[in-house]
A and B are shown apart, each in its own frame.
Chain A
């Protein structure tokens, strides 16, 4: 067991993720957050908006009561075209969003909870973002497709 915060992943996180996987693209993303009492990971929002920008602006808008930017975890269903007639693929990517202005306390808690959540959801493709440029569509597409799309 690697060093971890011990923050619990609530069952609702996994249930929501399983429904998401079976929704065949109707659900586009889930945003998770760590509860204010720092005890568990909970579902912040399940999104159906097909526009990536809607998802991105939700991540960027995450703030705490004092107005400091707050981190989030998310899973996003990335669809991409391999081009030259090879057809479309889709892949779920796990994103940790820890903007660099996050207070150290929350950076620490999110960073030390990332691995337990990622393995509980069992997603192999992941991306860490601390700068707005890291969550641009192009970058996410490139990571999800293993460099095959989004160049």
Chain B
């Protein structure tokens, strides 16, 4: 390389901007630099709250899992329907997601950060200090949102980005559109299986068809509640999940035998809140979903009888079970039960009843096949076959073993005429971070600059500009 020649555009990135992509979900928040393959920052959307020295303290990110502090309670700023409930805290959690790993913390006021302390109490009165450095002053920000995010929430989002974070340019993209695009499709029926919601988003020519957007709460957290219901009724004995922080030692036991573990106990004034325990139990449940749970692959419901006269339940029982060991050492083989905990995503009658669950018993209208029917019912009849031919599956909970096979069977039964074709990335990262990756690619394109809403435009037109520009 000749140092007297200026670098070519390609060598220093040309007009590519270092935009930040923020994909906030109910369970996790994903953030990273545009142009990268995966989000650098993946944090829980949950945050912790406790009192120390008479002051309320807040903790974010993976720190919430680590220490069972006295009185530590866990909260989530996002409501069960996937829409922000607590804006102040959502702002803080989101801000943490990019300041912790990407942009660095806000510069603190140089008058108070200790570096400029003057020993003889002389105050630097004639010095103007820029005290309010904003965390995104140099980075355009692309955020994603659910298809049913209301206008008020969209306006509030741009307001935070522009006024609190100081971003010079902003865009708000529907995650259904991003998932469709990432699969190469401008028109698709996007089936997103998330933690708090499952949703169906029809996308046509790059726009969501609002009347066809459907969602219900039968997501990953609901599946967790079904697993808990199963554990309560489990034989040979009901299973209690005891998280690692409550166990001081354990010894190996035979399958199905009571656990042999020494437990840690916390006196009432030192114990963390019940929500902390629930959060840690959720980790064991996630592992259980990944290792044990399987979707009955179809054809037909788990409760139906196969063509040979053998019931599907019986078939499920005869397939080999899967072992699972709990943190306290209890372990057993799970047989047909591992199919039952997810069956109600397709067949509401199959739900395992649990009067203590925070989830009411599901209705048939909340199941996937009915949501898809309702979604297609809300769109023009001419494009329905086209949408069915381009079904895109995304969301981490869609990684449940056997999920796409079953979905395929259900769709073929529901719509025998048109050709049904499902596209689901085999790559786990693309399924978990589909909309983040889509946003990352778009925001990294030099040509995308014409889509951004600039600070100037925001100042001129107000928050409502997001409705006009980000359709």
Contact = CB atoms under 8 A, between A and B. Distances in A.
Interface in A1-58: 1-8, 38-39
Contact of A108 (B182, B446, B469): B182
Contact of A39 (B183, B441, B447): B447
Contacts of B442: 3, 5, 108, 112
B187 interface: yes
Nearest to A131: B421
Given A3-B173, A112-B442, A104 B182 contact: yes
Contact of B423 (A1, A2, A130): A130
B451 A6 contact: yes
Interface centre among A3, A108, A112 (most CB of B within 10 A): A3
B300 to A, nearest CB: 27
Given A8-B447, A104-B437, A115 B205 contact: yes
Contacts of A128: 185-187, 386, 390
Interface in B435-449: 437-438, 441-442, 445-449
Interface in A89-114: 96, 98, 100, 102, 104-105, 107-112, 114
Contacts of A104: 182, 425, 430, 437, 441
Contacts of B178: 3
A58 B359 CA distance: 54
A3 B439 CA distance: 11
A3 B181 CA distance: 10
Interface string B170-188: 0001100110111111110
B202 to A, nearest CB: 14
A108 B438 contact: yes
Contacts of A110: 184
Contacts of A96: 186
Nearest to A40: B447
A8 B386 CA distance: 27
Given A111-B186, A128-B186, A130-B184, A6 B448 contact: yes
B438 to A, nearest CB: 6
B251 interface: no
Interface residues on A, range: 20 to 34
Contacts of A108: 181-182, 184, 438, 441-442
B185 A2 contact: no
Contact of A98 (B173, B184, B448): B184
B450 interface: yes
A20 B438 CA distance: 34
Contacts of A3: 173-174, 177-178, 181, 206-207, 442, 451, 470-471
B445 A4 contact: no
Contact of A114 (B186, B423, B447): B186
B185 A5 contact: no
A90 B173 CA distance: 39
B445 A7 contact: yes
B183 to A, nearest CB: 6
B441 A105 contact: yes
A38 B441 CA distance: 11
Interface string B138-182: 000000000000000000000000000000000001100110111
A98 B187 CA distance: 12
A117 to B, nearest CB: 10
Contact of A115 (B174, B206, B447): B206
A5 B445 contact: yes
B181 A112 contact: yes
B206 A112 contact: yes
Contacts of A130: 184-185, 423
Contacts of A8: 447
A123 to B, nearest CB: 12
A82 B156 CA distance: 56
Contacts of B470: 3
A131 B389 CA distance: 11
Contacts of B187: 128
A98 to B, nearest CB: 3
B450 A6 contact: yes
B445 A98 contact: no
A6 B171 CA distance: 13
Contact of A107 (B182, B207, B450, B469): B182
A1 B469 contact: yes
Nearest to B446: A39
Interface of A: 1-8, 38-39, 71, 96, 98, 100, 102, 104-105, 107-112, 114-115, 118, 128, 130-131
Given A3-B174, A98-B185, A112-B181, 6 more contacts: A1-B469, A5-B447, A6-B445, A105-B441, A111-B184, A111-B206
10 contacts: A6-B448, A39-B447, A71-B184, A104-B437, A107-B181, A107-B183, A108-B181, A109-B441, A111-B186, A111-B206
Query: Which 8 residue pairs of A and B lie closest in terms of their CB atoms, listed nearest first?
Result: A98-B184, A107-B184, A6-B447, A111-B181, A2-B206, A114-B186, A108-B441, A2-B207
